[in-house]
Structure 1
Amino acid sequence: MNKVWLIRRIAMSFITILVTIIISWILIEYSPESPANAILSNIRANLAANPKFVKIYESEVQYYESLIPHGNPVIEALTYIANVLRGNLGLDVITEIPVTKLIAQALPWTIFVVSTSLIISFFLGIRIGQKMGYKRGTKIDSALMSTFTVMKSIPIYISGALLLYILGYNLHWFPTGGAYCPCVPMGLTFIGCVLYHSALPILTLTLANLATWALHMRANTIYTLGEDYVTFAEIRGVKDKTIETKYVGRNALLPLYTSLIIGIGFSFGGSVFIEEIFSYPGVGHLLYNAITNNDYTLEMGIFIIIITAVVFGVLIADLTYSLIDPRVRYE
């Protein structure tokens, strides 16, 4: 691998993260409808209706006014970036708990649920999609195409609510919320409890992603089957299993590899709808609460995690793509 290209690619990723964070911070901080301004407007509206509460709200008004930047935007942004590089994402506006602590508590649950469902759906999807490509035009292919098209068209919050209602509230097969039972001691029982509570969120996300991977893999397989090197391998008498795995499967998988790595990066942001529906204490649930409460420091902290994870996901995809596609390595 070219060292100059590697250094340049890492530098570009780092600059991309910094620029994106600065733009996001400026849009939130200097917006006329910024969270701090919105909260101050509500407090002042309450004071206008009830002037006798001026003393009670005086400290809150001073606190939220201090959160509104009054200096040079560039200097303010550079100060914020310097704090971020030191690991200081500020205090949560509502609870005044460090944002890093709140994210650290929620992130493991999100990574577990979203990444598990993404990996399961990916490997199932590419296998089913490849078989569909080989059996294109048959009744099985048509039935699966219709099924996956319907699955893909249903919004994830609808499918999540249906699974929760049927499997959770009606049949009582799975819990309807939470990540674990607080009364369960640490050990194998606790692990089983965590898996039991995560079953419905993982199932919902797996079904939602499965259709996408399967349909994309089917299209890539059909396209690859028409390539000259596949026809030449068939003429040479190469075994069907070898053609299916090494000639067709591997090349049809290449366009999906980058999407998988980027998807893992996005998984650090969680699934807002799913985590809110199932009351799962992940980053998505945290982000939903931050948006509804105008908690902009927590919003920015979560945005930084998502931005960093996605950019590094793209970087990892670039660095490892040559391992599965020798043509890139030769170039």
Structure 2
Amino acid sequence: MNYKWLIRRLASVIIAMFVTIVISWALLEYSPYSPANYIMQFINPQDFAQKPGLYSSLIQYLNTLRPHGNPLINAVNYINNVIHGNLGLSIVSDVPVAQIIAAALPWTLFIVTTSILISFFLGIRIGQKLAYIRGSKTDSITTVSLSILRAVPIYVYAALLVFVLGFVYHVFPTGGAYSPNVTPGLNLAFIISVLYHAFLPILSLTLVNLVGWILHMRANTISVLGEDFVNFAEIAGVKKSIIEKKFIGKNAILPLYTSLIIAIGFSFGGSLFVEQTFSYPGVGDLLITAITSNDYPTEMGVFIILIAAVIIGNLIADLTYSFLDPRAKVGEE
């Protein structure tokens, strides 16, 4: 491994995190519509420390993030707080934002990771099969249909599923992460309830991601089928199953690996609509609630999670790709 490249890559990740967090913080913190700016129009900031009750959490929030009038100093103070795990207090509940996110994050990780893995493995199998029958009527109809379905927004899938399977036929619950009648913990009743409530959110995310994986795998497989080493293997009499698995499948999947890791990060954003539709208590639902209630500390905390998921996903993909494809050396220009 090229350690100079690794140091440069880690430095770029830190800089990217820093810049995006500062920009996001500035857009929210100094927005004309932020609760902080609204209240500061009517109340002298010097009197904040003497205001109890209704403004207690907002006061602590302002004292933490705006101890100075200089925006640059305030930004540095905020980054310092983030590094030490201090994301401030929720204006609505007066609870540390880090604690709120820690309670919501596992639910989002569960539905996002599960849906990505299911859609990925199904997608590569279906896409590979479509590539083998390329040019046929079945392939043409399927490809056109998938292209149309790919243009459907994720919230449409979620709304249709919750309406049909939730409200019309009452097959699945329409909200929550588990039944209030079960005791949380490592017991069978709780696990079944969690899977039951997560089925529709996972299905919504899976349907959206599945279409993309099928089309990408089909295109990659068709490209590999035209390579000389595949033709040579066929001429040499290598078994068809071995050609499909080791020669075609492996080389067609490799370009999708980076997309898989990055997709996990970006799926956090897609889960926002799904969790809101199904009232699923993840970070997406938390973000919507924070936006509607002008809970800016919580908004920033969720933004940081989304930013970190995408940037770290890119880093993991860069660092691990060479283990799957020895031809790609980490750090080579």
TM-score (norm 2): 0.88
Q: Tell whether the 8 Å contact from 1:111 to 1:270 is kept in structure 2 after alignment.
A: no
SS at match of 2:92: coil
2:32 corresponds in structure 1 to 32
Q: What are the residue-to-residue correspondences of 1:4-23 with 2, within 5 Å?
A: 4-23=4-23
Q: Which runs of 5+ in 1 are unaligned?
A: 45-54
Q: Which runs of 5+ in 2 are unaligned?
A: 44-50
Q: What are the residue-to-residue correspondences of 1:1-331 with 2, within 5 Å?
A: 1-38=1-38, 63=59, 66=62, 69=66, 71-185=69-183, 186=185, 187-269=187-269, 271-329=271-329
Q: Residues of 1 paired with 2:257 and 2:289: CA distance?
A: 33
Deviation at 1:102, TM superposition (A): 0.6
Deviation at 1:237, TM superposition (A): 2.2
TM-score (norm 1): 0.89
* Aligned partner letter, 1:115: T
Q: Tell whether the 8 Å contact from 1:269 to 1:302 is kept in structure 2 after alignment.
A: no
2:47 corresponds in structure 1 to none
Moved more, 249-258 or 115-124: 249-258
Q: Residues of 2 paired with 1:260 and 1:61: CA distance?
A: 40
Q: Residues of 1 paired with 2:131 and 2:105: CA distance?
A: 37
What RMSD in Å do the two structures reach over aligned CA positions?
2.5
Call closer, same or farther: CA 1:296–1:107 in 2, change over 3 Å.
same
Deviation at 1:188, TM superposition (A): 0.6
Deviation at 1:61, TM superposition (A): 12
Q: Residues of 1 paired with 2:54 and 2:9: CA distance?
A: 50
Identity across aligned pairs (percent)?
A: 59
Deviations 1:1-53 (A, max 9, x none): 12222222222212221121112112222233334235667x89xxxxxxxxx
Q: Residues of 2 paired with 1:179 and 1:58: CA distance?
A: 31
1:47 corresponds in structure 2 to none
Call closer, same or farther: CA 1:213–1:35 in 2, change over 3 Å.
farther
Moved more, 59-68 or 232-241: 59-68
Q: Residues of 2 paired with 1:230 and 1:298: CA distance?
A: 53
Q: Residues of 1 paired with 2:315 and 2:61: CA distance?
A: 40
Aligned pair count reads 320
Q: Tell whether the 8 Å contact from 1:265 to 1:306 is kept in structure 2 after alignment.
A: yes
Deviations 1:201-258 (A, max 9, x none): 1111111111111011111111121122222222222222222122221221122111
Q: Residues of 2 paired with 1:92 and 1:61: CA distance?
A: 7
Q: Residues of 2 paired with 1:4 and 1:95: CA distance?
A: 46
Deviation at 1:308, TM superposition (A): 1.4
Q: Tell whether the 8 Å contact from 2:57 to 2:89 is kept in structure 1 after alignment.
A: no
Deviation at 1:269, TM superposition (A): 4.9
Deviation at 1:293, TM superposition (A): 1.5
* Aligned partner letter, 2:9: R
Call closer, same or farther: CA 1:221–1:166 in 2, change over 3 Å.
same
* Aligned partner letter, 2:6: L
Q: Residues of 1 paired with 2:119 and 2:165: CA distance?
A: 20
Moved more, 260-269 or 283-292: 260-269
Deviation at 1:64, TM superposition (A): 9.1
Call closer, same or farther: CA 1:66–1:146 in 2, change over 3 Å.
same
Q: Residues of 2 paired with 1:13 and 1:305: CA distance?
A: 14
Q: Tell whether the 8 Å contact from 1:179 to 1:194 is kept in structure 2 after alignment.
A: yes
Q: Residues of 2 paired with 1:258 and 1:234: CA distance?
A: 29
* Aligned partner letter, 2:140: S
